[in-house]
Amino acid sequence: MSEFQYTCRRLTADGKLSLPLDPVQWESAQEVELREVVTGDKPRLATVVRAAWNDWGVYYRFVCEDDEIVSNMTQRDDPIYDEDVVEVFMSVDGDLSRYFEFEFSPTNVQFDAKIVNNLQDPKGSQLTVDTSWDSAELTSWVEVDLGNRRTVFEIAIPAADLLDGKSIQAGDTWRTNLYRIDRKPEGQDEYTAWSPTGIVRFHIPWRFGTFVFE
């Protein structure tokens, strides 16, 4: 197990659920805060994340303190990581050299890819990002409310697309990390993570935390 462990609780309803979820569904979900990716310090803008699962897949809710939106791209798999995003990386079989990357913009543009990462290459120059792969039923919902200084993302990722048609089982463990990038035109970008990587780079799979499906 990694230093960062998350107990992912099962939802009371099964099947693919519409977003946003009924707030009652999130009440028992564990809450975690993202930290500055290098130091682990408290960031300027807070981000709180909850996750839950059912027989269909895994659901995430990011509540982001926000004061400005940088989000101009419009097409799926555009390089939205160059603007404001929240991100979920997950290795579902424990092989940290192979994992999935999901990103979501404040204008609800999605990015999904399969990653192959040469763990012997600390600079990440041999990273392969396969954006030709799409999660067919991937769903996301975003609410931007700058009047109340927040952006909320809810995300539904189908387990069948990750597990070759299978569903999550209680007791399963996935290696996962959660990220956010907040861009600022003046160059004061902020990078945050659930499990800090120690460097301004997210593709550090040995720093992924562990999700335990309860």
CA separation for the pair 159, 92 (Å, rounded)? 10
For residue 17, which amino acid is it?
L
Instruction: Give the start-to-end residue ranges of the domains of the chain.
Output: 5-69+80-213
Task: Give the chain as a 3 state SS string.
Answer: CCCCEEEEEECCCCCCCCCCCCHHHHCCCCEEECEECCCCCCCCCCEEEEEEECCCEEEEEEEEECCCCCCCCCCCCCCHHHCCEEEEEEECCCCCCEEEEEEECCCCCEEEEEEECCCCCCCCCCCEEECCCCCCCCEEEEEEEHHHCEEEEEEEEEHHHHCCCCCCCCCCEEEEEEEEEECCCCCCCEEEECCCCCCCCCCCHHHCEEEEEC
CATH of 5-69+80-213 given 3.40.50.150, 3.40.50.720, 3.40.640.10, 2.60.40.1190:
2.60.40.1190
Tens digit of pLDDT per residue, the chain (214 long)?
568 999 999 999 999 999 999 999 999 999 999 999 999 999 999 999 999 999 999 999 999 999 999 999 999 999 999 999 999 999 999 999 999 999 999 999 999 999 999 887 766 567 999 999 999 999 999 999 999 999 999 999 999 999 999 999 999 999 999 999 999 977 789 999 999 999 999 999 999 999 999 9
Task: List the structure tokens of 123.
Answer: 């600079």
pTM of the model: 0.96
